[in-house]
Structure 1
């Protein structure tokens, strides 16, 4: 589809213009209004990457409602919690997912069911019967077709209310105030910087953004709708496939891409002849978010894709606060970047003192023109996360002498070994240098003498024959002895969230059962 036709969205083998999607979103907005949904209310969307996800979300914004993207991997009880806690008035859901979750949908929520698209059936092993809208359910397409488009003026969209991952306790929705015009303009400019659009000299409808991750997650969700609203073209993968992404970049002449480090690992693992088959020369900007990227992985991507790789650091609560180019990272390996204009980032000690360069402590940050937030239904948690005007991200890190931020790990992941603090991220970075280690997770497990000891779960590369003692000997050259994993387990795969993050809680939990202490 040519740029002259206006911007478009492509998902799998289907393409729609932005005008078509907007028109359907306005019809959905009319339907929401007739269901009593208005400013400050909630529409929940439980869907894989698909057009109805976009239409339902944009439509909610037109009536001033929040969108709660529900992680479709959730168990029924987890889904029930999000629907109840958010106070959703409407749920838009794929047919096969509705069949699994219908029994936990709280009474009083209006449900609209979209047929599961053919492009989603094979990747997710959905049969034809499960993909169709159940008899008696409100069919998304039929519902849309029977509504007249809502006419402007529209309400100010408050955006998505993302539920945090909930690795400790129940997840909480990050509910932000609707932006003022000044805040909306500042956020748009921030996205232009983060998204590599400041240096883009061609029309915006020549930008082609690739979203290979799940739209229910904070970063893909935010980028997808920010670029959509700017008028860029979108290519959204129904599901991440390492070679498929390369083919998508080539065939769609993708200019911009968003990824997580796990995607880089899986693409780098492709045979050299496979990687060489694809023309990636259209890429001018590719950023990664969501988790630390191992130095050798990042170097590998820069060597392969060129100096188009960037990253930024932040959180769902405060947005992005640092940014780093390929050139800056190569000069400061391991950094997540320097503070962005309009942002504050400090390192704070346990006593509340702001620490100097080189001193590790709690990362505390905020943006000057960013709508205030609370945790939906839990203002107390919001108050506990505050450090004056700023917010603690839960990460530990330090600034180097040149003002570049480096992460040490999650404060909640910290291992206390005989009174000494150990940060797993440091050990994981060194483990990733060991030949034959494809990926790893380090965490603390109970120890009668020292309180906690270091445990490492290691996923070997295909065909690698790893030995625990040999790994410890390798690490001993670079780590203090108290940081060496006392227990090493090898596993064919590590449990992951759909974002690519390793689900450490699932690995750690069995070790702490029955010991009388929370993990």
Structure 2
């Protein structure tokens, strides 16, 4: 069993996956893909995704995992900017394209597995019939069905090249999405061996362990963690197309899952299950759960630890830099609010606007050095990386401080910082207080232009069922908890706040109504 993959519980033998990967590699080579070229992937959570990733090792290609929530208008700039030679996608995702695709782009259609269609049957993206998909695709692109192409394609005879890896794109919060392309460097260790090492150093995986992933695999964190398992070679991977809280518990019990990736939005859904449902399942096999992306509300973290035990680890990471820190449950209880220390081999410094180190405990820009991942360059953007680098360190605009034991605390992203009346205000600080207000289920703080103060603080809130909220109640709750100048001046009520699958709130969408 060790080392195999499963899709919704159905086993896919690793040797069969690798055989198909080598066939895909030969097919890519036949289509002119060579070292340094780019493949794009538009697949939901499916084992085929990692067959394509493995194939890219053999031909030395980069790959881009496309957000399958994206519209064709949002994805086309990425196809263009990346210079993609091939697009591999599930039939019902490609079937939604209505505009012609680039004529020199080879399109390979993967029949959507029935289990994925079942999981998304009630979603806003409904599966289409095979014939209607074929008709739509024929109107927009020259395409081939992957299974048909591979039927007469032999396995590639060459050995894998040095791994180029994932070529990510930002969410495009300001203008077009930017590409994050890792620089190729023969002097550094093969990135594939780095991922294999992280399976042990970051994920604490041993031979025979079982990793469960239900987060979308186009996201860099869940994708990279699953890639660690692939590179390790001795870990069984359970891929679930869509997270469901009770199904998660049932799968942990049935398959004796030992490791998982989980984000706060998933935890909240688990904690909302009735007690009788929670007590139905034996989850004692689970001993390691990693979260990235968004901060945990304190009560959610405590609730999960009370239920599952101190098995939760949190990592501060970014597509540009990788996993930067790690903190255990025990450490987070002792250091509330911290995201941990730098991972082994990395280091963190805090600098002021004059690029000078700040004293311990004082806030500034967070600069990180992670030599194991190597430097990156942005594509599809104007300007340079000036100001983002200091010696070998890089910042992504996050603000925070280190304590006297080297634990990192994040205030907020610098771009989200509000300057009102000359004072620097960090939305995350206010959000961390307001999330405990009984009437609030979810919230976001952001700034909008204000003629008098420069920026005005706005609270966007989603109320608990049956609750009402007004700005006077908000101010009354904050009184004595945070300084008055940090209180929101305006309240917007939303049925549901816009969030990414990673849990991050799309603040730019909230701000767009004002700017």
Please state which band the TM-score falls in when normalised by the shorter chain.
over 0.9
Q: Residue 514 of structure 2: SS of its match in structure 1?
A: helix
Task: Give the structure 2 partner of residue 134 of structure 1.
Answer: 134
1:16 corresponds to 2:12: yes
Task: Give the structure 1 partner of residue 21 of structure 2.
Answer: 25
1:67-89, CA deviations, whole angstroms, 9 ceiling, x for partnerless residues? Answer: 10111111211110000000000
Given the superposition, is the C-alpha separation of residues 259 and 179 from structure 1 closer, same or farther in structure 2, using an over 3 Å criterion? farther
Distance in 1, matches of 2:9 and 2:473, equals: 48
Distance in 2, matches of 1:409 and 1:104, equals: 41
Task: Give the structure 2 partner of residue 217 of structure 1.
Answer: 219
Task: Give the structure 1 partner of residue 34 of structure 2.
Answer: 38
How far is the alpha carbon of 1:182 from its aligned partner? 3.0
TM-score (norm 1): 0.92
1:50-78, CA deviations, whole angstroms, 9 ceiling, x for partnerless residues? Answer: 12222222212221100101111112111
1:292-318, CA deviations, whole angstroms, 9 ceiling, x for partnerless residues? Answer: 112221111111111100011121111
Distance in 2, matches of 1:64 and 1:283, equals: 36
1:322 corresponds to 2:325: yes
Q: Residue 152 of structure 1: SS of its match in structure 2?
A: coil
1:85 corresponds to 2:91: no
1:7 corresponds to 2:9: no
1:63 corresponds to 2:59: yes
Task: Give the structure 1 partner of residue 297 of structure 2.
Answer: 294
For structure 1, list consecutive stretches of 5 or more residues without a partner in the other structure: 513-519
The worse-fitting range, judged by mean Cα deviation, of 183-192 and 10-19 is 183-192
The worse-fitting range, judged by mean Cα deviation, of 287-296 and 269-278 is 269-278
1:196 corresponds to 2:196: no
How far is the alpha carbon of 1:143 from its aligned partner? 1.4
1:159 corresponds to 2:159: no
Distance in 1, matches of 2:108 and 2:323, equals: 34
The worse-fitting range, judged by mean Cα deviation, of 491-500 and 378-387 is 378-387
1:368-399, CA deviations, whole angstroms, 9 ceiling, x for partnerless residues? Answer: 23222211355943344222211112211111
User: Equivalent of 2:252, from 249, 252, 256?
Assistant: 249
1:257-306, CA deviations, whole angstroms, 9 ceiling, x for partnerless residues? Answer: 11222111221122222222221101110010011112221111111111
Given the superposition, is the C-alpha separation of residues 272 and 460 from structure 1 closer, same or farther in structure 2, using an over 3 Å criterion? farther
TM-score (norm 2): 0.93
1:177 corresponds to 2:173: no
Given the superposition, is the C-alpha separation of residues 365 and 118 from structure 1 closer, same or farther in structure 2, using an over 3 Å criterion? same
How far is the alpha carbon of 1:359 from its aligned partner? 0.8
User: Equivalent of 2:229, from 212, 227, 230?
Assistant: 227
The worse-fitting range, judged by mean Cα deviation, of 188-197 and 482-491 is 188-197
Task: Give the structure 1 partner of residue 505 of structure 2.
Answer: 502
1:6-61, CA deviations, whole angstroms, 9 ceiling, x for partnerless residues? Answer: 42111124320111111111100000000000110000001111122222222122
1:157-205, CA deviations, whole angstroms, 9 ceiling, x for partnerless residues? Answer: 21110111221222112111346563544553344221023xx4xxx1x
Distance in 1, matches of 2:444 and 2:313, equals: 24
Q: Residue 19 of structure 1: SS of its match in structure 2?
A: helix
The worse-fitting range, judged by mean Cα deviation, of 289-298 and 465-474 is 465-474
Distance in 2, matches of 1:501 and 1:167, equals: 12
Distance in 2, matches of 1:46 and 1:474, equals: 45
Contact 2:256–2:285 (CA under 8 A) maintained in structure 1: yes
Distance in 2, matches of 1:114 and 1:106, equals: 19
Contact 2:180–2:319 (CA under 8 A) maintained in structure 1: yes
State the number of aligned residues.
Answer: 502
Contact 2:197–2:232 (CA under 8 A) maintained in structure 1: no
User: Equivalent of 1:476, from 472, 479, 504?
Assistant: 479
Contact 1:179–1:370 (CA under 8 A) maintained in structure 2: no
Distance in 2, matches of 1:358 and 1:139, equals: 58
Q: Residue 33 of structure 1: SS of its match in structure 2?
A: helix
The worse-fitting range, judged by mean Cα deviation, of 370-379 and 393-402 is 370-379
1:470-506, CA deviations, whole angstroms, 9 ceiling, x for partnerless residues? Answer: 2221112211001111112222211112222111111
Q: Residue 182 of structure 1: SS of its match in structure 2?
A: coil
The worse-fitting range, judged by mean Cα deviation, of 149-158 and 342-351 is 149-158
Contact 1:80–1:104 (CA under 8 A) maintained in structure 2: no
Distance in 2, matches of 1:503 and 1:223, equals: 24
User: Equivalent of 2:114, from 118, 121, 138?
Assistant: 118
Contact 1:287–1:311 (CA under 8 A) maintained in structure 2: yes
Counterparts of 1:413-428 in structure 2 under 5 Å?
A: 413-428=416-431
Given the superposition, is the C-alpha separation of residues 428 and 313 from structure 1 closer, same or farther in structure 2, using an over 3 Å criterion? same
Q: Residue 54 of structure 1: SS of its match in structure 2?
A: helix
User: Equivalent of 1:240, from 232, 238, 243?
Assistant: 243
Distance in 1, matches of 2:27 and 2:77, equals: 25
Contact 1:63–1:157 (CA under 8 A) maintained in structure 2: no
Counterparts of 1:384-423 in structure 2 under 5 Å?
A: 384-423=387-426
Contact 1:357–1:400 (CA under 8 A) maintained in structure 2: yes
Q: Residue 17 of structure 2: SS of its match in structure 1?
A: helix
CA RMSD of aligned residues (A): 1.9
Distance in 2, matches of 1:375 and 1:144, equals: 34
For structure 2, list consecutive stretches of 5 or more residues without a partner in the other structure: none
